[in-house]
Amino acid sequence: MDHGEATTTTEPAGTSPTLGPPLVELKDVNKHFGDLHVLQDIDLTVRKGEVLVVIGPSGSGKSTLCRAINRLETIDSGEIRIDGQPLPEEGKALAKLRADVGMVFQAFNLFAHKTILENVTLGPIKVRRERTSAAKERALALLDRVGVKNQAGKMPAQLSGGQQQRVAIARALAMQPKVMLFDEPTSALDPEMINEVLDVMVALAKEGMTMIVVTHEMGFARKAANRVVFMSDGQIVEEATPEEFFTAPRSDRAKDFLSKILSH
């Protein structure tokens, strides 16, 4: 699916002068679920300001990779660092890490019994210890930025899927994260709502947010990504610029995968 125009401004992977120091670093990361080797020797560095798109067939380990970075999953061996710090095991340090790593999932996971505004202020008040008035003010500004300020008093179920997903982005941003992880944020949406979410993500990328985005949206990748990583069977098989990857994939597995997603 391609929901946008390709741009020609993409720079070669990793060479953009605007990118900062390493922010997310994975070194030789391995993870098993029983006999399944779901992450195999993963080496990956995402620099400050970089937008990385992760693409690959279902079951290749993309969600596990995201969850490992947020320590929602433990790893068996290797090392993951956020802003130079190894992932904490537990406790306050782990809560702090989770606040530094914003996460938006496929399914809208807003708190169903809280208003839109409460969904966005809860984390800042409880975890960041912000004053309620300050948290509300910032939440409203964020809801405005994602285009749903007028929905602030409603309950999640009263919003469309696209609106809920934009609230989920605002909620993650309210924690002032260093990096945002998106795991197929548009794949549960009706087609007419996909662009309204992708537009918010493109704007975020343009503002310099560091982002790891699992998506098959080529339009987004071409507009916003510095780099594409292709995963298959728990391995990073290929790394390229979006332009290189979508026009001339090198590996047979990537060619096969692209022929499948391009054919419908």
Q: HSE on the CB side for 128, CA within 13 Å?
A: 22
Residue 139 CB, nearest approach to ligand ADP (Å): 30
Report in angstroms the alpha-carbon separations of 24 from 63, 101, 235.
Answer: 16, 10, 18
Phi, psi of 229 (to 5 degrees): -115, 130
Q: Which residue, 184 or 196, has its beta carbon nearer to Mg ion?
A: 184
Phi, psi of 94 (to 5 degrees): -70, -40
The answer to the question of residue 63 lying near ligand ADP (CB under 6 A) is yes
From 190, 197, 133, select the one nearest 170 (Cα to Cα).
197
Residues 6+ apart with CB under 8 A from 201: 169, 182, 185, 211, 213, 220, 224
Report in angstroms the alpha-carbon separations of 12 from 9, 113, 180, 237.
Answer: 10, 46, 22, 18
| Binding residues with ligand ADP: total (CB under 6 A) | 11
Binding-site member from 12, 18, 28, 33 for ligand ADP (CB under 6 A): 33
Of 43-51, 57-65, 159-167, 240-248: span binding ligand ADP (CB under 6 A): 57-65
The answer to the question of residue 195 lying near ligand ADP (CB under 6 A) is no
Residues 6+ apart with CB under 8 A from 93: none
The answer to the question of residue 165 lying near ligand ADP (CB under 6 A) is no
Residue 63 CB, nearest approach to Mg ion (Å): 3
Residues 6+ apart with CB under 8 A from 129: none
Q: Which residue, 36 or 95, has its beta carbon nearer to ligand ADP?
A: 36
Residue 225 CB, nearest approach to Mg ion (Å): 18
Residue 238 CB, nearest approach to ligand ADP (Å): 15
Return the one option of ligand ADP, Mg ion, none that residue 111 interacts with (CB less than 5 to 8 A, by type): none
Coil/strand/helix, residue 170 = helix
Of 56-64, 111-119, 121-129, 245-253: span binding Mg ion (CB under 5 A): 56-64
Whole-number Å distance between alpha carbons of 96 and 74: 17
Phi, psi of 123 (to 5 degrees): -60, -55
The answer to the question of residue 36 lying near ligand ADP (CB under 6 A) is yes
Binding-site member from 63, 121, 215, 241 for Mg ion (CB under 5 A): 63
Of 51-59, 105-113, 127-135, 254-262: span binding ligand ADP (CB under 6 A): 51-59
Binding-site member from 10, 44, 62, 119 for ligand ADP (CB under 6 A): 62
Binding footprint of ligand ADP on the chain (CB under 6 A): 33, 36, 38, 56, 58-64
